[in-house]
Structure 1
Amino acid sequence: MRQRELPELIELERLMEEGRDHFVSRQLCEVEASGQRLPVHVVCLGSNDPQAPAVGFFGGIHGLERIGTQVLLAFMRSLLARLGWDRALHHQLESIRLVFMPLINPGGMKLHTRSNPRGVDLMRNAPVDARERVPFLVGGQRWSARLPWYRGAAGAAMEAESQALAKVVRDELLSRKFSLALDCHSGFGLRDRIWFPYAHSRMPFAQLAEVYALKSLLDRTYPHHPYLFEPQSHQYLTHGDLWDYLCESQQADAGQVFLPLTLELGSWLWIKKNPRQMFSLSGMFNPLVPHRQQRVLRSHLLWLDFLTRAASAYQHWLPNGENRPSHYQDACASWYQGVVR
């Protein structure tokens, strides 16, 4: 473990060891980077009831975006500390399952690249093609792994890391009546944003009413929260989005709700406050000043905790047959004016 020199992996494995009485962990696959074999882990805790709601927390899909992994590790560390004294948390975990994949692309993080060691951008790797025009390169390309945003060869199987994520989502989330997923990224804009599908189309996805109900619950509970809640398609479209792929595969199961969200941390704000970060590849995606990093790590714990509480009590806020149409109409008015008529 010391030879890996990957602090986030060392911290994750330390948490797995310290929390062995509460966490159930397993290795999903290994990837090679710089001659080292690096594991991809999943860690679960809480209810073993297959009908219990679940929340999946994912990070490190892009190796350059270390802060997303660090936010999830900070949350895991907080949960582990609370398990030593917080009876309310123990009671909550009797009725909900939490799933963590904080470091999906350890090879990319080891090599300081956005892609995995094979040069594939894992968030462009799913077999999904955009229905509308995507931006040049950024939307995903198949020309060369030497260029950014490479999707992988046409017709090839998804990368091992992508397959590992998809298997965890199918096994732990899509099999349940209600589940949420949060994927932590950084590198876009001056604000922290919560994105939801689609990335491959500007049309609303099937569970728009449920996303709007969650957003309304957040607004009522924390009216001064900092997040801009919006569909990813408001910013740009892409090919190969993993969450679109998993979301589409779930829709055939009537009566199940799966809400995949992305926390997109606004790294441009860190650059604005410290322009020297522009001259560092790491600084384009992560806060480099220690006190700013600490502020980021603590400022999102409330959002992560909110998701666990919302999932555990989903029956109390999820729209039902009577009010679902009004939620859908309000969502369309807020996010899809001119798209849905």
Structure 2
Amino acid sequence: MRAFSTAARELPELATLFEILERFGDRAEPHVLAVVRQGGIEFPIIGVVVGARRADAPTFGLIGGVHGLERIGTRVVLAGMHTLAQFLAWDSMLNASLEEVRVVYLPLLNPVGMWLRRRSNGSGVDLMRNAPPHPEASGTPIVGGQRWSPHLPWYQGSPGVMEHEAEVLCAFVREWLFPARLALALDVHSGFGTVDRLWFPYAYSRRPFPALAEAYALERLLDDTLPNHVYVMEPVSRNYTVQGDLWDHLFDEHLEHCKDERRTFMPLTLELGSWLWVKKNPRQLFDVLG
């Protein structure tokens, strides 16, 4: 990763990622999925694979940094990576478990957005509004996606064009999560409100999505396993609707092309209730990065 030393100096999160990869050693397989350039600097988008290489192995994916302003998402994913690297150094049972299951990470999807301190990528596009919109989609006005201008928030981009970072996420999910007999993706964001929420599809519509039974089975499992957890599990559309949500797009693609009904792909979004942080520290209200 020495080729990206300049980017690491500009983005502390990248430097932290490189340090964690050194801790993993040969237990992790890093992939430079793409390089995005801004201001004469090359920023890598890095995916990391830990555990079983068998295609159908159960897989858990952790994604962060989709929105450049939401630094906390990347930091949560990096903290999880650091913990796993530490445990693998001595925990033989965990090492044995990872011969049967896989954990994949994409901790910083939008490095240019984070460097520029903006929600969008370098082209002004909100990546989570950039997938091909569903024909039935009717997003909440403005916040659900707009095509007026990249200078306004929630810009979807040009019709029919997916941004490089969005394509990278989709390709990573197709390669490492789609083949798994059970795949769970967790995309970490800082959200609105005072409650931490676990969102599942659909974002584009309030109609129930086909894996609703599996989503509520997961909720029951969470309640039984961690009875004191603070998460509210619900569909995205209970709060607002979105055109061009990448997880809607990937879920529907998996549903359409997967011929094995025993395979399950469940994308979740963790929306951290960032208003709680402001309540504890009002000065954060004036920090663009929270």
Tell me how far apart the structure 2 counterparts of residues 8 and 247 of structure 1 sit (CA, whole Å). 29
- Aligned partner of 1:271: which letter? V
Q: Which residue of 48, 55, 62 corresponds with 1:43?
A: 48
SS at match of 1:137: coil
- Residue aligning to 1:281: 288
- Aligned partner of 1:123: which letter? M
How much does 1:130 deviate? 6.8
Tell me how far apart the structure 2 counterparts of residues 60 and 85 of structure 1 sit (CA, whole Å). 30
- 2:279 aligned with 1:272: yes
- 2:238 aligned with 1:238: no
- Residue aligning to 1:263: 270
- 2:176 aligned with 1:138: no
- 2:180 aligned with 1:180: no
How much does 1:268 deviate? 0.7
Contact 1:138 1:149 in 2 (8 A): yes
Tell me how far apart the structure 1 counterparts of residues 53 and 191 of structure 2 sit (CA, whole Å). 36
5+ long unaligned stretches in structure 2: none
User: Within 5 A, what are the aligned runs for 1:161-310?
Assistant: 161-252=165-256, 253=258, 254-255=260-261, 256-283=263-290
Tell me how far apart the structure 1 counterparts of residues 35 and 133 of structure 2 sit (CA, whole Å). 25
- Residue aligning to 2:68: 63
How much does 1:2 deviate? 4.4
How much does 1:18 deviate? 2.9
SS at match of 1:19: helix
Q: Which residue of 128, 135, 149 corresponds with 2:154?
A: 149
How much does 1:51 deviate? 1.9
How much does 1:20 deviate? 2.6
User: What is the TM-score normalised by the length of structure 1?
Assistant: 0.80
- 2:26 aligned with 1:29: no
- 2:6 aligned with 1:3: yes
Tell me how far apart the structure 2 counterparts of residues 130 and 144 of structure 1 sit (CA, whole Å). 22
Contact 1:130 1:238 in 2 (8 A): no
How much does 1:116 deviate? 0.4
Tell me how far apart the structure 1 counterparts of residues 165 and 38 of structure 2 sit (CA, whole Å). 13
How much does 1:133 deviate? 3.7
Tell me how far apart the structure 1 counterparts of residues 65 and 16 of structure 2 sit (CA, whole Å). 14
SS at match of 2:133: coil
Tell me how far apart the structure 1 counterparts of residues 284 and 178 of structure 2 sit (CA, whole Å). 39
Tell me how far apart the structure 1 counterparts of residues 247 and 53 of structure 2 sit (CA, whole Å). 24
How much does 1:245 deviate? 0.1
SS at match of 1:123: helix
How much does 1:87 deviate? 1.3
Contact 1:34 1:111 in 2 (8 A): no
Q: Which residue of 102, 106, 110 corresponds with 1:97?
A: 102
- Residue aligning to 1:78: 83
User: What is the TM-score normalised by the length of structure 2?
Assistant: 0.94
Moved more, 272-281 or 238-247: 272-281
CA RMSD of aligned residues (A): 1.2
